[in-house]
Amino acid sequence: MPKSTKSQKGWGSASTKRAQPTMPAALKQEVEEKAKALVDEVLKPRYVLPPPAEPQFNYIEDLYTKWYRSFFYFCAQYRSAGPHAMGGTFETKFARMRYTGAGLFDLAFMRYTDEWVEVYGGLTLDACLESIREDAWFHP
């Protein structure tokens, strides 16, 4: 039987995702410690206020951080309030650091359309935290 010269076509994976770099444990610990200090010393006093006497709108009840894979999130917990509120709490993420390797991070904020917008790339940890502290894009 003669060999076919026609190319073989078919379904296959066209994924272009690259493997995320592994973060060293010491850097992960440093990120957690410095971010917690930023939240406790700067962001909470600025944004977590006593609940209003007669709340009409949702308000921030707590700020915290958490890891998910190679992403480090800054989160706000809101309390539903007001005459038409369903009650309870809900979480929003307002800033995200993505580890890119070599001790550098990309920094993004959550847009009102629920999409992450990367503003800075290749920042050090201290530069990321300074941007979160000072830049209005990264506030809850």
Total domains present in the chain: 1
State both tokens at 89.
């709490």
Asked if 70 and 79 touch (Cβ cutoff 8 Å), the reply is no
Structural domain boundaries, residue 110: 25-138
pLDDT digits (tens, 9 = 90+) for 19-56: 777 888 899 999 999 999 999 999 999 999 988 888 88
- In a domain, residue 80? The reply is yes
Whether the per-residue pLDDT at 65 is higher than 80: the answer is yes
- In a domain, residue 18? The reply is no
- In a domain, residue 20? The reply is no
Nearest to 94 by CA among 43, 34, 139, 52: 139
- In a domain, residue 9? The reply is no
pLDDT digits (tens, 9 = 90+) for 97-112: 999 988 999 999 999 9
Could you give the percent of the chain with pLDDT greater than 70? 87
Whether the per-residue pLDDT at 83 is higher than 80: the answer is no
